[in-house]
């Protein structure tokens, strides 16, 4: 986009990303932002299908680039003993901490919690309590680093989730591939990688503030994952509807994929 002279990497988010406006715009109901036509419903349903049966479980789950959000781990939380949430921006991590600690003025996740509970036949209060009990850390991460959690070294995870992070943090495909390698290094052998993202997007807006995005293709993502030795188990795509009237982003499609790191 002509509006960008430089890619809006993590440092730009620190000063310009409004966490509360982001959640209000994109997560105030289960269908997400009206311009994005059921984007969020697709994501929540995909995550529920992967995790709700309990087939995938283990000791540790790491969510890389959580933003101010907890939605990515709702369906998985009861199947992992320890959950790590993370983000580059201090304000995003503060919003998560406020919600975990039930502090006054924390973000309202009840509409999203309720939707997941209806999908899975769960109690809202039980799901909320389980997540708050299982989240052990909220850490700063930078996916551009070889170890995204430097100076911390985390124990290998049974599952790594990342949603809308890499394409927003990585200015080119080389940086993106290095970031993917960093994520796979967080996984134990045989561990599961779950990714949610957008194809063909160059920008999105939060309260009229523009953020740039790396345009990705399915072929490019598959090639990068296979180059790291991961086996792709599923790759689901929902094409964007009514792109001409989408004022907040220009994505061509949403994707959800599940891949597995080879066992040693």
245 pLDDT band (50/70/90 cuts)?
low
Q: What is the mean pLDDT of the chain?
A: 91
pTM for the model stands at 0.94
Q: Residues annotated as binding site?
A: 22, 27, 65-66, 87, 92, 142-143
The total number of structural domains in the chain stands at 1
> Average of pLDDT values for 59-73?
97
Question: Does a structural domain hold residue 58?
Answer: yes
Once rounded to an integer, what is the mean pLDDT over residues 257-261? 98
What does 57-111 look like in DSSP terms, one character per residue? -EEEEEEES-TT--GGGTTTGGGEEEEEEEESSHHHHHHHHHHHTT-TT----HH
Does 4 fall in a domain?
Answer: no
Asked if the structure places residue 121 within a domain, the reply is yes
Position 5 in a domain = no
Binding site residues for S-adenosyl-L-methionine, as ranges?
22, 27, 65-66, 87, 92, 142-143
Task: Render pLDDT for 168-187 as a digit per residue (tens, 0 to 9).
Answer: 999 999 999 999 999 999 99
Let me know if residue 60 belongs to a domain.
Answer: yes
Model pLDDT, residue 124: 96
CATH number (domain holding residue 208): 3.40.50.150
Q: What is the predicted pLDDT for the residue at 1?
A: 40
Domain membership flag for residue 1? no
- Any domain includes 178: yes
pLDDT at 264 over 80: no
pLDDT-based confidence at residue 38 (cuts at 50, 70, 90): confident
Q: Is 2 inside a domain boundary? A: no
Range of 225's domain? 10-260
CA distances from residue 87 to 19, 55, 76, 118, 169 in whole angstroms, order as listed: 12, 27, 19, 28, 11
């Amino acid at each position: 986009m002509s509006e960008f002279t430089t890619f809006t990497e993590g440092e730009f988010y620190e000063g310009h990303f409004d966490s509360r406006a982001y959640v209000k715009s994109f997560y105030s109901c289960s269908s997400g932002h009206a311009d994005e036509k059921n984007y969020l419903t697709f994501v929540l349903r995909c995550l529920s299908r992967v995790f709700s049966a309990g087939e995938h479980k283990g000791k540790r789950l790491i969510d890389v680039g959580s933003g101010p959000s907890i939605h990515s781990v709702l369906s998985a939380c009861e199947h992992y003993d320890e959950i790590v949430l993370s983000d580059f921006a201090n304000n995003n991590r503060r919003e998560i901490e406020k919600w975990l600690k039930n502090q006054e003025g924390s973000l309202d996740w009840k509409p999203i919690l309720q939707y997941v509970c209806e999908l899975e036949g769960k109690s809202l209060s039980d799901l909320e309590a389980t997540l708050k009990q299982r989240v052990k850390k909220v850490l700063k991460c930078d996916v551009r680093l070889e170890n995204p959690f430097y100076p911390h070294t985390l124990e290998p995870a049974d599952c790594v989730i990342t949603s809308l992070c890499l394409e927003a943090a990585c200015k080119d495909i080389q940086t993106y591939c290095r970031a993917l390698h960093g994520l796979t290094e967080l996984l134990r052998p045989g561990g599961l990688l779950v990714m949610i993202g957008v194809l063909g997007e160059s920008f999105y807006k939060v309260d009229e503030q523009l953020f740039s995005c790396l345009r990705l293709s399915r072929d490019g993502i598959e090639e990068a994952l296979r180059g790291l030795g991961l086996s792709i188990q599923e790759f689901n795509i929902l094409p964007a509807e009514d792109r001409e009237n989408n004022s907040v982003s220009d994505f061509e499609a949403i994707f959800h994929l599940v891949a597995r790191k080879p066992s040693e």
